Amino acid sequence: MSKLDNIPVRHQPTEAAGRKRTNPLAHVFDELVKFCQSRSMFMLHYCTGCGAIELPPAMTSRFDMERLGIQPMVTPRQADILLITGYVSIKTLKRIILTYEQMQSPKYVIGICSCTVNGGMYWQSYATAKVLKDYLPVDVYIAGCMPRPEAVISGMRELMSDIKSGRAQNWKRYYENYDHYLGNQQKLFGEDWQTPTDIIAEARHYGLMTDRTLGEHTALLEKHQRPLEALEMRLSAREKQKT
Amino acid sequence: MNLSELLIELLLMPLVAFVIGLGMVLMMRKIAARLGRRIGPPLLQPIYDIIKLYGKRTQISHGLIHEIGIIMAVGGYVAAETLLPVPGMNGLADKGGVITLAYVMMIPSLGMALGVGQCANPNGSIGISRALTAMLAYDIPFILVIFGAAYVYGTTNLADIIAIQQQQGVSGWGLMQMPLLALAGMLALPAVMGKQPFEIYIAPAEIATGPMVEMSGKFMGGLFVMQCFQLYTAGVLYTTLFLGGGAYWITFLPKIYAVVAIPMAAAMLFPRYRTEDVIRLMWKWPVLVGLMGLAVAMK
Ligand code: SF4
């Protein structure tokens, strides 16, 4: 499952590849934005496993994450970091992927707990997804069963310094290697798995298409893809039965 | 005053308001943190947040009305700032008056309602219906207080109101002349600012921040900017009506910060009220106190 080239290595930023930057101050702005991104991180509270219990102390008076500009946000639209706090059951993983795809780039994933690294003590379970980075690009892992708030905060600081120096570019890997991630997702959820977000179109939009974006798995997706339909508007459940 | 001077003031007033508002947002978060025995965010946190939001790569727009809604939300307050006299700058205060201001202050909520409507997210619609209901709740005491103050001073011109108060020193302040109306205003202030305990329309854990649910990137940034203006407007309006405005920034700034800090410090201690409770509370106590104040003023 984990070939060497699947491991999320830090790769060089490809920022300026597609667009031509003519503004002489562009780099100053980039640095400013990067700095602000590292100092203001909204994290989605979506808590999956038992590791979530270490987050309240990390946020409240004892360790106070707001000092670092980290604060909870409740919708994926506004969040910058997705925390996966513990074992991920297969059902949960579907929701995690849906949530991740709805987040706005640049976005970062932090895997807290050993269970997200290699399955942890649920390694033999039939119902959990073992290695999180097979399904999503993970920026930082914080190992431990469960990691203490100090460890969580030091992991956050790691991510902050990565963002500041421009190394945290893993969200691009999801677009660049979409076929690989989709393949792993299909292995778990069946081949008719699909999400409402059109990743391929987004990859095109950001200029992140590579030869690994499309492949046999995306071909399979295209075969099964149903177009998104607007939800029907009705006032009560009973109305439908009448018609 | 010639035209170029006026133009400079119109440009400067919203800018000053924004900077002061950033300080107020920081102060609010610091108060919340200190009450929870935390340290709270660093000094420049509100700016980091806004720059970060504008710097996001993905900016999802749900259509033209969504964008116009945010422009209305920010623009309404920008217009309001030019109607609020501050030390050294009167802007349009001479021509506008407090009634125009009350109208302009409603534009942001309506803009938000428009923008959120196009997002077509049910959580957003619930949130905005709650926000408009809350507006209905606090507008009654708000208008009462404004009407009472205008009646006592005999003018709706904010610049004149400040001049009248400053002629008589501290004893001429609205707070001394009509303490009941000032109290009613103070009671309604947290609701006008839309902060705890009257933020059921945001309700993060229940309807996922309500109106803001689909707002992301620069749209959220716009709302963060709007929040700065919102706190500033509430603080300056109250100071102008009841605390004698300010002849100098050095006396003016502590007043407006105190006006925002006092209800905030008390309000952070309460759990939030449900929408119908907000209405009941707002239509009962501030309205009652305000009506009594009005009766005393008109005797
Ligand atoms: S690593 Fe331990 S604490 Fe974390 S989710 Fe797994 S079993 Fe729970």
Between A17 and B216, the more confident residue is B216
Residue type, B273: Y
User: What domain count does chain B have?
Assistant: 1
Using CA coordinates, name the residue in chain A closest to B204. A74
Residue B139 pLDDT > 60, yes or no? Answer: yes
- Other beta carbons within 10 angstroms of residue B168's beta carbon come to 12
- Residue A60: closest CA among chain B residues belongs to which residue? B38
Give kind and range of the element (H or E) at residue B161. helix B158-167
Residues of A in contact with B52 (CB under 8 A): 33, 36-37, 39-40, 80
Instruction: For ligand 1, atom 8, name the residue with the nearest CA.
Output: A50
Chain B contact probe: residue of A19, A31, A32, A40 with most B CBs at under 10 A: A40
Question: At how many degrees (to 10) do helices B158-167 and B93-104 cross?
Answer: 110
Yes or no, beta carbons of A106 and B57 under 8 Å apart: yes
CA pair distance B296, B111, nearest whole angstrom: 37
Number of inter-chain CB pairs under 8 A, A vs B = 84
Q: Would you say residue B251 lies in a domain?
A: yes
For residue A124, count CB atoms less than 10 angstroms from its CB and return exposed for 0-12, middle for 13-18, buried for 19 or more.
exposed
Report yes or no on B298 lying in a domain: no
Q: pTM value?
A: 0.84
Average pLDDT over residues B81-98: 79
Determine how β-strand A88-89 pairs with β-strand A70-73: unpaired
Q: How far is the alpha carbon of A121 from chain B, nearest alpha carbon, in Å?
A: 31
Instruction: Please tell me the distance in Å from A213's CA to the nearest CA on chain B.
Output: 19
10-residue mean pLDDT profile of chain A (243 residues): values are 48 50 81 87 82 86 87 86 88 89 88 86 86 88 88 90 86 87 87 83 83 82 77 63 52
Torsion of Cα atoms, B253 then B259 then B260 then B261, to 10°: 100
- In angstroms and rounded to an integer, the radius of gyration of the C-alpha atoms of chain A is 19
Question: Which range of residues forms the domain containing residue B64?
Answer: 3-136+155-170+205-270
Token duo for residue B196:
């705890």
Residues B214, B62: contact at Cβ < 8 Å?
yes
| Ligand 1 pocket test, candidate residues A47, A48, A89, A113, most atoms within 8 A of CB | A113
Judge whether residue B23 has pLDDT over 80: yes
Within-domain flag for B68: yes
Residue B299 in domain: no
Within a domain: B126: yes
| Coil, strand or helix at A143 | coil
Chain A: closest CA distance from residue B139 (Å): 29
- Report the candidate in B14, B13, B142 with the shortest Cα–Cα distance to residue B74: B14
User: Rounded to 10 degrees, what is the CA torsion of A235, A77, A81, B23?
Assistant: -120
Segment B24-76, tens digit of pLDDT: 999 988 988 888 888 888 888 899 999 988 888 877 777 788 888 888 889 99
Contacts of B228 (CB under 8 A, 6+ apart): B17, B18, B20, B21, B22, B24, B25, B46
Cβ atoms of A132 and A116 closer than 8 Å: yes
> pLDDT value at position B185?
85
In a domain, B238, yes or no: yes
Q: Is A146 helix (H, G, I), strand (E, B) or coil?
A: coil
Facing B58 at nearest CB: one of A32, A67, A105: A105
Domain residue ranges in chain A: 27-169, 170-225
C-alpha–C-alpha distance, residues A113 and A161, integer Å: 21
Cβ < 6 Å from ligand 1: which residues?
A 49-51, 86-87, 113-115, 120-121, 145-146
Residue bearing the bigger pLDDT, A56 or B208: A56
- Residue-level pLDDT at A1: 41
Secondary structure of residue A101 in the 3-state scheme:
helix
How many Å lie between the centroid of ligand 1 and the Cα of residue A186?
Answer: 25
Segment 204-223 of chain B within 8 Å of chain A by CB: 204-205, 208-209, 212-217, 220
DSSP-based three-state secondary structure for B172: helix
Question: Which of the listed CATH numbers 3.90.25.10, 3.90.660.20, 1.10.357.10, 3.40.50.12280 matches domain A27-169?
Answer: 3.40.50.12280
Residue A236 confidence (pLDDT):
67
Of all residues in chain B, what percent carry a pLDDT higher than 70?
Answer: 98
**Rounded Cα distance, A63 and B39, in Å:** 9
3-state helix, strand, coil in chain A (%, to 5): 45, 10, 45
Å from CA of A173 to ligand 1 middle = 27
ipTM for the predicted complex comes to 0.79
Q: Is A100 helix (H, G, I), strand (E, B) or coil?
A: helix
**B49 vs A75: CB contact, 8 Å cut-off?**
no
| Distance from the alpha carbon of residue B137 to the mean position of ligand 1, in angstroms | 47
Handedness of CA B51, B111, A99, B274 (dihedral sign): positive
> Searching chain A, which residue's CA lies closest to the CA of residue B41?
A67
Taking an 8 Å cut-off on Cβ atoms, the answer to whether B41 and A69 are in contact is: yes
pLDDT band of residue B95 (cuts 50, 70, 90) is confident
| Residue A60 near residue B36 (C-beta atoms within 8 A) | yes
Residue with CA nearest ligand 1 atom 5: A86
pLDDT of residue B162: 80
Beta bridge partners of A111: A84, A141
Give domain status of residue B242, yes or no: yes
Residue nearest to atom 6 of ligand 1 (CA): A115
**Exposure pattern of B218-255 as b/e (b: 16+ CB <10 Å)?**
bbbbbbbbbbbbbbbbbbbbbbbbbbbbbeeeeebbeb
Chain A residue with the nearest C-alpha to that of B214: A77
| Chain B residues with beta carbon closer than 8 angstroms to that of A60 | 36, 38
Is the CB of B214 less than 8 angstroms away from the CB of A77? yes
Residue of B nearest to A64 (CA): B38
Give me the pLDDT at residue B26, please: 92
